[in-house]
């Protein structure tokens, strides 16, 4: 039994606007918050950041960073080991520094004992790899829209002036994640993992099955 995901299932909360359609905490299973989604949820059982705390995580991120009830999952490097190795609310994870070594995904992706593979939009790919490798065989994605009409409508939270620094490529980053997930999802299935969409919308739901809360008891039994 996993100490992180004792029932083998979790919610993975991304920052897309469909996050506002669901209550991630209503299922009573662990919630893994991806990067800036902390600005909407304000807390989580686990908060995955591929980059260190920064302006994009907002004031909510600063509070969660100092909240011991939210465990922070961050890459292990010389800096993080010296500052956070012995703190109970920080989980340090080995990650590749570059995505140039990902020649054989079939062998290396989701492989225990190997560093996590760096994908585009690093926090989301880091989050679902970490969850799978630590006992979450089934992941219920929320807020994973994978599309937006504008920078102002890209997130579940209101955009601030500093968010607009990335306005020039707001669509490109979503497309990169979509392409990555389309390639990685078949490998996840072959490894015995399951992904579900909880109101994420048509782009992601063309890829994976829809989730309804009535399904949860059966997912726990699998």
107-118 average pLDDT score: 91
Tell whether the model's pLDDT for residue 102 goes beyond 70.
Answer: no
Count other Cβ atoms within 10 Å, centred on residue 19: 26
Q: What integer pLDDT is reported at residue 167 of this predicted model?
A: 67
Least confident interval from 103-112, 131-140, 174-183: 103-112
Q: How far is CA 143 from CA 76, 126, 200, 208, in A?
A: 27, 16, 5, 14
Tell whether the model's pLDDT for residue 103 goes beyond 70.
Answer: no
Q: What is the pLDDT of residues 187-220, one digit of tens each?
A: 999 999 999 999 999 999 999 999 999 999 999 9
Q: What are phi and psi of 123, to 5 degrees?
A: -65, -40
Count other Cβ atoms within 10 Å, centred on residue 23: 11
Least confident interval from 13-22, 52-61, 78-87, 199-208: 78-87
How far, in Å, CA of 207 to CA of 178, rounded?
10
Q: What is the pLDDT of residues 8-45, one digit of tens each?
A: 999 999 999 999 999 999 999 999 999 999 999 999 99
Residue 79, class by beta-carbon neighbours within 10 Å (0-12 exposed, 13-18 middle, 19+ buried)? exposed
The three-state secondary structure class of 12 is strand
């Amino acid at each position: 039994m996993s100490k992180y995901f004792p029932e083998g299932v979790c919610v993975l909360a991304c920052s897309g606007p469909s996050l506002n359609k669901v209550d991630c905490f209503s299922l009573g299973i662990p919630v893994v918050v991806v990067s800036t989604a902390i600005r909407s949820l304000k807390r989580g059982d686990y908060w995955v950041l591929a980059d260190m705390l920064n302006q994009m995580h907002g004031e909510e991120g600063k509070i969660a960073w100092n909240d011991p009830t939210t465990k922070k999952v961050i890459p292990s490097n010389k800096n993080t080991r010296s500052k956070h190795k012995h703190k109970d609310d920080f989980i340090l994870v080995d990650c590749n520094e570059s995505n140039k070594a990902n020649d054989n995904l079939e062998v290396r992706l989701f492989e225990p004992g190997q560093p996590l593979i760096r994908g585009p939009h690093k926090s989301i790919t880091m989050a679902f790899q970490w969850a799978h490798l630590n006992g979450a065989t089934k992941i219920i994605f929320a807020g994973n829209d994978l599309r937006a009409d504008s920078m102002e409508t890209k997130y579940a939270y209101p955009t601030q002036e500093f968010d607009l620094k990335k306005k020039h490529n707001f669509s490109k980053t979503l497309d990169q994640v979509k392409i990555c997930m389309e390639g990685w999802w078949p490998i996840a299935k072959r490894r015995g993992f399951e992904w579900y969409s909880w109101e994420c919308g048509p782009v992601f739901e063309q890829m994976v099955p829809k989730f309804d809360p009535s399904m949860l008891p059966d997912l726990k039994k699998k």
